[in-house]
Each structure stands twice: as C-alpha cells, then as structure tokens.
Amino acid sequence: MSSFVEIPSPSVFKIENLFRDNNFIVPLYQRNYAWGKDEVSDFWNDLQAIIDGKHNSHFFGQVVTFKNEQGKQEVIDGQQRLTTSLIFMAAIRDISIKLGDKIKSFPSDINMEDEIGDTLRIIRRQVSKSIRGTKGEQPSLVVQQNVGDQNSSETLDNFFKRLTNTRLAENDYKTISEPKKNMLNAYVDITRSINTNIEHGKELGTQIDQLQIIFDSFMEHFYIVMISAPSRQDAFTIFETLNSRGKDLKASDIIKNHVMSLMNKDDLRDANQIWNKITRPLDNNSDRITRFIRTYWASRYRVVSEARLYREISDKISTVTEARKFLTDLSSLVDIYTVLESPISPKAHYNYFENKRLDQQLDILNRMHILLYYPVVLALKYRRFSESDMLTVVRKIISIFVRFRIIMNQGTNKLESGFSDVAHQIWSLNLSNSNAIINYMDDHLLPSDDQTKASFEVMSKEGGKRGSKKWTLVYLLAELYEAIYDDFDNDTLYQQVFSDDKYSLIQISSDNEIKDYATYFGNWTMLEKELTKNSFSSMDKLISALTKSKLNSNHKLATQLQENGWNVEKIKQRQFSFVSTAVLIW
C-alpha cells in the first residue's frame, strides 16, 4: 500500500491565473489526450451555464503536480482539463482573428477598427499570455514530448504547439494519430459551439461582445484546485488517494500511475514503452486493459472485483522489482489474451496456435460467450504447457461449463473463483502436468453424473437466430448428433456447424398445448438452412424437410413424428434419450 503522505494545502486558481503563474509538462508515461465528443460537450454545457447566467462559477476539477528539476509542474492528474483549456483558448483566438478580418472589410470611412477592434486585440493578448510558447518563451503546457506518429514525422508536442499558437493549415485536418485526432476534434467542436453562440447576434459588434462574454466566463468563472506535491512519489500517492474511489478514471489508469510511481527516474521511459506494448493490442481501451489486468490477477493470485483491483495491486506491488515483474508478465500474456477475446479473427489470431483443434475449441467457447476460463489459459501459457496439453485442459473446461452452467444453470461465482484457483495452482507449480490439472478440476469443479442427469431431463433453452443462445444450443445438438447418430466426425463438425454456419435451430412444435415444454431441449433440432427458407405451417411440412435433411438424427425424428405424433410426453422421452450420452460427452 502507498505510504501515508500529508496532502499539501491546495491552491485554488481561476483559469486566467492558472496558466499565467505556472508552466506545466505532461510526462511521457501519462496516457495521451483522450477526450472525445461527450467530454467536450459536457465541458461546453458547463460553460454555457455560466454564459447564460444560470451559475456564477464552475469547479473544473483538480490538478495534481510536482515541481521537477527544471521548475516545471509535472502533471500527474488533470492533463485532459489543462489540454482542453488551451484548445478552447486557441479556438477563441482564431475566431477573434476571423472577426477582425471582417472589420477590415468595412469601408474606410466607417471607423469600426477603433470602436470594437480593441476588444479583439485584448482577447488575443490575453490568450497569448496564457498559452505562451512563442518568441523564446516557455509554453504554459507541453504535452508528451517526442511521441511519434507512424503516418507523420511531426511529434505530438509539436502538433499541439502549432494548434495552440498558430492557425492550422488544411492538411492538418488529415492527421491520423489518435491523440492528434482527439485534439483536432475538440478544437473543431469547441469552435463550432462558440460560433453557434455568437451568431445569435446579427451585428458584428454584438458578436464580438458575446465572444468577450464567452472568454471571460471561462477565464474568470472556471476554477481549478491544484495540489503541488514536493516529489513525484508524493504526487502519485496523492493522485491514488484522490482517485482510487473516483468514477472518472478506470482501474487501469490508476494502476498505471501506481506502477510508474515506483520506478526510478531512469526506468520511467522503459516502463512506459512496456506499458504501450501491453495496451496497444488492446486498442488503448481502458475497459479492455482493466479486464486484462483483472484476468491476470485472477490467474496469478485470486479473483477480485474491478472496484478493488487497484487496492489489491497497490498492496501487493510496492517495489520497483515487483513493478517490473508485473509489467513483464502482462507484456508476455497480452497477445494470448487478445486471441481468447477473438480466437479466429483477425487471421493472426487464427495462426497464433499451430494446433487447429485448439483454435476451434476456443472459438466454440467464444461463440457461447464463455470467458471465465481465461485465467487458466493464461497460467498454462505462462508455464509453457504444450498446445496438446492446452487442448486437453480446454476440453475439460468445456465439460465443466456445460454441466455446471448450461445443464444445471448454476451461477457463475463458483466457476469464476474455481477457475481462478486452478490457474493459481498451475502458476504456483502445484499442478505441473495436464493429468494433474484434469484430476484437480474433476475433484473441485465437475458436477456429478447424477446431478447432471437430473438437470438434463428438465433442461430448457430459449434458442435464437444469433448470439450465445443460438451457439450454445447448436453446440449441444451437434455433439449429441455426432455421438448418437454419427452425423458428423471430428473433421466436419466444427467446419459445418460453426465455421460454415450451415444449420438453423428449429422448434419441433410451438403449439399452445405444449406450453412450457416448447423450449425443452427435446423440442429442438437443427436443420440445414436451405431447408428452412420458409416457415413450417404444418407438421407435414416439417416432416418433409426433416426427411430431406442429410442428418440421420433428423430422419429418425421424421419417422417418430409420422408414426407417433408429437406432444409433451414425446418431448420428455426424446430429451431423456439424450441423458446418458450427455454425461459421456461432457
């Protein structure tokens, strides 16, 4: 846990004084500018309330910094607000320039320049004093330096400096980099909002007066609380204390700051590069990064909720050595995690494993939206189990899930903690081979045959045309049809049923007399899609389609329907006929 640190007395700044009295720098290890349309819209709505006189002031949030060796305030928390503030000022400046150009277009005998031109010049001077960075001055805010862009030679900090100090050229609007896009989009959205507001005034003078009101509303009525810590470590500790229970930041953001706070000054750049290597395959998406870290933690230690993830990690990881190990582990496992998220797409994921059977089983799990097993596979990967051993374990995972969740309809908490326990045992080398893992899962997680049979006899499934409900039912039917009727084999089942998606789910009957039994497993079959183009308005039409099917199971069903008809007892009998095979398969 972070050691206690006394929080320095915070300073309350109006925006106009915040930038004039400080030079800020966003360190390389911070995430890039990430505000999107929603956040910028919220910013403008808060400002609009001041402009319209609905509120007298607005608390714009907190900034946590420490003064580095160069005398600059290194930003630990608050860079999104600071960056947006300067983007807003740049938009105000550029609009004032355009309004000034309109003044110049008036006939020379109309003395507009003297009457209202001074207002625009004052606004531009105020913006210039706040932004700075020209004529040898230090900029008031420097974003992440030397962050490159694969499609441009211009770094992020140079782009931001041009955005805030000059009017951008048309080519700048074709930028590719995500943080550059976010900055540019914020500038465009803010500019549009300001223009919409001032254009209510038809006279040029009225528009300029309104621009002054907008500018003053932000500079004089938006407040920021700044806490400047005596050291980087103290700043991180304060940041964690203030944000560990907050809603604005994801657990991954706070965890990153904790890990970086443990690094020596010379280690920060390398640590940041490893973090970027971890987050890039996850599209720098905070939610996905958090889920990945939570999965890793469940694999190595135990399951914790997202709300407690940061506190658990900060308690366990308290030295630079532990922080490096944490980053190294995540870096080594992120690729296989993304494969588990989407096993066959893109192609690189499908090619991750040489054993295609393993790919197929993982894809089936994914289609059924089964995620709780991820920690086990991460542990297997970390301990370098062979792909054949992984396949053996994954097949057992499917059996456990089918029995426990699909057939018995039990809650997921026991499985989540159970799979985490298995993963921890693998990670700790208590389970060192696939046989030991299978035996351990049989003893601790696999429901008994009697429990499974009793639940299967009354199992009901909704089905569906797509999604996990469809794939779950299709999977059960396909495996049973293969085992009982020899409809598929190991080489064709996955290809036909899942990859080619050749079959549709069919309810044998939905008559009112069947009622609740309409969704019983025994009332379902799967039929080639070319035979299901039209709905079956009568039992005779269904029997005809079943007869044309290539599946032996459907031929058997067609004969049964012709000879004995269909009712609740027939549904129960058919369902019971699958029970013994189900416990053999799973």
> From start to end of 94-201, where are the E strands?
141-142
pLDDT of residue 304: 93
Question: What residue type is assigned to position 176 of the chain?
Answer: I
- Specify the pTM: 0.74
Q: Which helix (H) or strand (E) holds 100?
A: helix 79-104
Each residue's pLDDT tens digit in the chain (586 positions)?
Answer: 444 555 677 888 999 899 988 899 998 878 889 899 999 999 999 999 999 998 898 999 889 999 888 888 999 989 999 999 999 999 999 999 999 888 876 655 445 555 567 889 999 999 999 998 887 788 999 998 776 665 667 888 999 999 999 887 777 777 667 888 999 999 999 999 999 999 987 788 899 999 999 999 999 999 999 999 988 888 887 887 776 544 456 788 888 888 988 888 788 889 989 998 999 999 888 899 999 999 999 999 999 999 889 888 988 998 999 999 999 999 999 999 999 999 999 999 999 999 999 999 999 999 999 999 999 999 999 999 999 999 999 999 999 999 999 999 998 999 999 999 999 999 999 999 999 999 999 999 999 999 999 999 999 998 888 899 999 999 999 999 999 999 998 778 899 999 889 999 999 998 888 888 999 999 999 999 999 877 788 899 999 999 999 999 999 999 999 998 999 999 999 999 999 999 999 9
Closest alpha carbon to 335 in 298, 377, 294, 372: 377
Distance of CA 207 to the CA centre of its chain: 42
Q: d(Cα 10, Cα 166) in Å, to the nearest integer?
A: 33
- For position 148, what pLDDT does the model report? 63
**Distances from the Cα of 150 to the Cα of 175, 189, 280, 346, 483, angstroms:** 11, 26, 14, 21, 53
Rounded CA separation 70/28 (Å): 16
* 3-state SS track over 440-474: HHHHHCCCCHHHHHHHHCCCECCCCCCHHHHHHHH
CA distance 155 to 141: 15
Q: What are phi and psi of 57, to 5 degrees?
A: -155, 165
Backbone angles phi, psi at 136, to 5 degrees: 80, 0
One-letter amino acid at 45 equals N
Residue 175's pLDDT is 64
Assess contact for 123 and 93: CB atoms under 8 A. yes
DSSP SS3 for 152: strand
How many residues are listed for the chain in this entry? Answer: 586
Q: Is 489 strand, coil or helix? A: coil
Q: pLDDT at position 239, please?
A: 80
